[in-house]
Amino acid sequence: MGAARGSVSRATVVLALVLAAGWLAGCGGSGDDDRGSSPVRSTTTEPTVPARDFSRAGVAVIAHRGASAYAPEHTTAAYTLAVEQGADYLEQDVQLTADGELVVLHDPVLDRTARGPAASCTGPVSEKTVADLTSCDMGSWFNEAHPDLAEATFSSQRLLRLADVLDDYGDEVRYYIEIKAPDEQPGMVDALLEVLAEHGPEADDPVLPPVVVQSFSAEALRQIHERRPELPLVQLIPAVGTAPDGAALDGIAEYAVAIGPAKELVTRELVEAAAERCLDVHPYTVEDSSEMAGLLDLRVGGLFTNSPDVLRRLLPEQPLDTGLCPARATAGS
Distance CA 43, CA 221 (A): 14
- CA distances to 42, 140, 152, 273 from 116, rounded to whole Å, are 38, 10, 16, 48
Distance CA 19, CA 21 (A): 5
CA angle, 236 as apex, 231 and 238 as ends, to 5°?
170
- Facing residues of 262 across strands? 284
* Residue whose C-alpha is closest to residue 104's, from 138, 71, 131: 138
Residues 110, 123 contacting (CB under 8 angstroms): yes
Distance CA 154, CA 186 (A): 33
Please state the φ and ψ torsions of residue 275, each to the nearest 5 degrees.
-65, -35
Distance CA 249, CA 281 (A): 11
At residue 313, what is the residue type?
R
Distance CA 210, CA 80 (A): 17
CA 332 to chain centre: 25
Residues 49, 269 contacting (CB under 8 angstroms): no
Residues 161, 76 contacting (CB under 8 angstroms): no
Q: Which residues are catalytic?
A: 64, 106
Residues 49, 230 contacting (CB under 8 angstroms): yes
- 3 state DSSP class of 228: coil
Residues 274, 259 contacting (CB under 8 angstroms): yes
Residues 189, 219 contacting (CB under 8 angstroms): no
